[in-house]
Every structure is written in C-alpha cells, then in structure tokens.
C-alpha cells in the first residue's frame, strides 16, 4: 500500500514538472502569422479551431444550428434550413429535370410544411418564374423522389393522377399536378447532413 502511495506522489510530481515545462516553452517564431494565414484561432479551452466566418443571412425566425455554421452551399445555390436549393430556369420535362438534379448530386425539391413550400414559392418567384417542377409524383400513391414521407398536402387543385402524375410549385397558390412532359423550370435540393 505504501508503494502505491509513493508511486502516486512521484507520478504527480513528474506530471506537474512536465506541465510547467510545456507552459514555459516560448512560441515558435512565426506561429502567429501561420495561424492568421490559415484562419485559425485559439478557443477558450486553448484548442486551435477554424476562425468563425460571418454567418449567412437567414430568413426571419430561422436559427443557425451548430451544424449550420460549418457548411456552405455551392455557388448559385440558396441555403434554407439544412439544405441547399437551386432554381433551374431552363424549361425541362419533369423526368429531364429530375435527371438534371441527379447529375448535380441533388433531387427535385420536396415540401413537408407550409414554410418549406413558401420558400419554394419565393425561390421560384425570385427566379422570375410562376411555376416550377418539384419532386412529387404519383405511383400507387403520391410520393417524393427523395423518398421522404409524403406527409404534408397543400393542393390548390388536384387533377386525375393517372393523366397528370407530376407535381409543380405555383407561386400564387398551393401545388398542383400536371402532365410530366411540359417544359418548365425546376427546383433542385441537396441535403447537407449527408457526407
């Protein structure tokens, strides 16, 4: 027992001396310049972390989450919540629009509440359009191409699904379904919570 107590005291002394020696070391010349060049700062705990950038402008009432501080959307994409959206003004059929979004690593946009749908309406309007394809389609029931649940409805008009199986955003009212062959703008979305 005395041996354990003795070893504990000796080990504590060694650790104290080592810690004092580490604190006494002068910073390497030029360290501050390197930290500034690489946009690195020391946090409260003394750990080097990336310097915080100015946060993106958020819509009213949207809080910046911890994850949200560390990603940026690609050029031309608009951030909303934890996703990046792209309004594509080129007219394409629904299938062609879905393929185009897929080529960008994205899908056609889905809406799961009034706020998301309102955002899609605003994005379409700011892009100069009044209609845009979104990722809803009919196949044995209404579905989203991103495989998220179709748990929110905001229909302004619902036509026969067998003849009009593709959903589109309407900037003045809720969404509707139409023939998939029409050449309309579209909205792509990339989720940022996947690496």
Cα pseudo-dihedral 93, 95, 100, 105, rounded to 10: 150
The predicted-structure confidence for 34-73, as pLDDT tens digits, reads as follows: 445 545 455 454 444 455 443 344 444 444 445 445 678 9
The predicted structure's pLDDT at residue 71: 74
Per the model's pLDDT, the better-predicted residue between 87 and 66 turns out to be 87
pLDDT at residue 173 is higher than 80: yes
Please, what's the b/e burial string for 112-123 (b: 16 or more CB within 10 A of its CB; e: otherwise)? eeeebbebbbbb
Mean pLDDT of 108-115: 96
**Domain boundaries of the chain, sorted by first residue:** 2-50, 75-191
CATH tag, 75-191: 3.10.100.10
Per the model's pLDDT, the better-predicted residue between 57 and 167 turns out to be 167
The predicted-structure confidence for 6-19, as pLDDT tens digits, reads as follows: 445 444 554 454 44
The predicted structure's pLDDT at residue 10: 45
Residue ranges in 58-171 assigned as alpha helix (H): 94-103, 114-126
């Amino acid at each position: 027992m005395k041996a354990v107590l003795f070893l504990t005291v000796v080990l504590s002394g060694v650790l104290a001396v080592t810690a004092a020696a580490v604190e006494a070391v002068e910073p390497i010349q030029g360290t501050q310049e390197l930290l500034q060049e690489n946009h690195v700062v020391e946090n409260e705990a003394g750990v080097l972390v990336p310097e915080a950038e100015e946060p993106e402008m958020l819509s009213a009432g949207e809080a910046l989450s911890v994850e949200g501080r560390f990603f940026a959307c690609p050029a031309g994409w608009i951030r909303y919540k934890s996703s990046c959206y792209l309004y594509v003004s080129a007219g394409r059929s629904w299938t062609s629009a879905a393929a185009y979004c897929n080529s960008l690593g994205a899908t056609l946009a889905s809406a799961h509440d009034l706020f998301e749908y309102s955002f899609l309406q605003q994005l379409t309007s700011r892009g100069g359009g009044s209609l845009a394809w979104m990722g809803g389609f009919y196949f044995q029931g209404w579905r989203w191409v991103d495989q998220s649940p179709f748990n929110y409805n905001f229909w302004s008009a619902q036509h026969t699904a067998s003849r009009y199986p593709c959903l589109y955003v309407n900037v003045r009212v809720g969404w509707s379904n139409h023939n998939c062959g029409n050449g309309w703008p579209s909205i792509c979305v990339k989720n940022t919570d996947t690496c």
